[in-house]
Amino acid sequence: MSGASASVELPPGAASREVERRRDGIGGRVRDAIAEEVPIALLYNDRPHVVMMATPHDLEDFALGFSLSEGILVEAGELEAVDAQALLEGIELRLRVPPGRADALEERRRNLTGRTSCGLCGAQALEDAVRQPAPVRGGPQIDDAVLRRALAQLHERQPLNLATGATHAAAWARADGTLALVREDVGRHNALDKLVGALVRAGEEVERGFLVVTSRASYEMVQKAATAGIALVAAISAPTALAIQLAETTGVTLIGFARRESHVVYTHPRRISARQEEVPS
């Protein structure tokens, strides 16, 4: 169970609240660490686009990663400026982009309100909902030991979740299994967007590493990864049927139920080298 005393420094994205904790019929007032969740509005050239419920940390990464993973921008240099403004209702991220990008966005504007479990709310057309990224080329060649190495590091690299028990993480592992970057958020899509932004800003080469996420592999996660050029996605939980279909058509190697002792490869197993054994059906 998460918890925090008044003297313990909280990680960014966490708040301290007094709660009543009960155990074996005995209760007491304690301080607890709670994950923050606030409305974050993204405006492109002063035009409102979307409001996402997210953890208010790593916002520059979020702004860049969302813009790239949603296909609003093609390259990082097109994001000219990000201005974060804290308001009573939440946070506004005012993004300055080339006029042509803003005009194209206005034409396919969805006016959606994102939630922690939904990346589609308010989509106006099927092509908005199921966007087909370009096929991913290349990617790393890893083995089971590399995946286990990445997973072994993941737990301790989530300070916000360790404090609150309420957040997802998206992690970037290099080809040897070393975790280079981790981003956390109450929403799995937001965590991935933050990681994509951090990857680009750090100059990491996406063809030389792979993505590990602590959530299920929904199709939006595969969609965002493929749009960013990520060729291998390993999820702690299960994929959906549409995620598998999208991974197949975009050339993404999709792994589900990733554990230190086992995992399931759903698509494009050529990037995973492993000893072949008979598995009981």
Predicted confidence (pLDDT) per residue in 207-257, tens digit: 999 999 999 999 999 999 999 999 999 999 999 999 999 999 999 999 999
- Domain CATH code at residue 65: 3.10.20.10
Q: What is the mean pLDDT of residues 73-80?
A: 97
CB 168 within 8 A of CB 192: no
Q: What is the mean pLDDT of residues 84-110?
A: 91
Contacts of the segment 151-156: beta carbons below 8 A, 24+ positions apart: 151/212, 151/234, 151/258, 151/259, 151/260, 152/260, 153/177, 153/178, 153/179, 154/179, 154/182, 154/212, 154/214
Q: Are residues 103 and 165 in the same domain?
A: no
Does the structure show a pLDDT above 90 at 124?
A: no
169-208 pLDDT per residue, tens: 999 999 999 999 999 999 999 999 999 999 999 999 999 9
Question: Is position 118 annotated as part of the catalytic site?
Answer: yes
Q: Are residues 269 and 157 in the same domain?
A: yes
258-274 pLDDT per residue, tens: 998 999 999 999 999 96
Q: Are residues 165 and 212 in the same domain?
A: yes
Does the structure show a pLDDT above 60 at 167?
A: yes
pLDDT for residue 5: 46
- 154 within a domain of the structure (yes/no): yes
Distance CA 139, CA 231 (A): 5
* Domain hosting residue 174, numbered range: 142-273
pLDDT for residue 145: 95
- 230 within a domain of the structure (yes/no): yes
Q: Are residues 163 and 235 in the same domain?
A: yes
Q: Are residues 112 and 170 in the same domain?
A: no
pLDDT for residue 126: 55
- 261 within a domain of the structure (yes/no): yes
Measured in degrees and rounded to the nearest 5, phi and psi for residue 93 equal -105, 110
14-71 pLDDT per residue, tens: 999 999 999 898 989 999 999 999 999 999 999 999 999 999 999 999 999 999 999 9
- 28 within a domain of the structure (yes/no): no
Give the number of domains in the chain.
2
Does the structure show a pLDDT above 80 at 109?
A: no
Q: Are residues 81 and 160 in the same domain?
A: no
Distance CA 166, CA 159 (A): 11
Q: Which of 129, 161, 184 is the last residue of a domain?
A: 129
- Domain CATH code at residue 229: 3.40.140.10
DSSP character at residue 199: H
- 10 within a domain of the structure (yes/no): no
- 98 within a domain of the structure (yes/no): yes
Q: Which of 70, 102, 129 is the last residue of a domain?
A: 129
- 152 within a domain of the structure (yes/no): yes
Q: Are residues 165 and 235 in the same domain?
A: yes
Contacts of the segment 115-123: beta carbons below 8 A, 24+ positions apart: 115/53, 115/187, 116/37, 116/53, 116/186, 116/187, 116/188, 116/190, 117/187, 119/189, 119/218, 119/220, 120/220
Placement of tokens 């399931």 in the chain: 264
Q: Are residues 111 and 153 in the same domain?
A: no
Q: Are residues 162 and 113 in the same domain?
A: no
- 9 within a domain of the structure (yes/no): no
Among the options 104, 118, 129, 265, which is catalytic? 118
Q: Are residues 161 and 259 in the same domain?
A: yes
Does the structure show a pLDDT above 90 at 131?
A: no
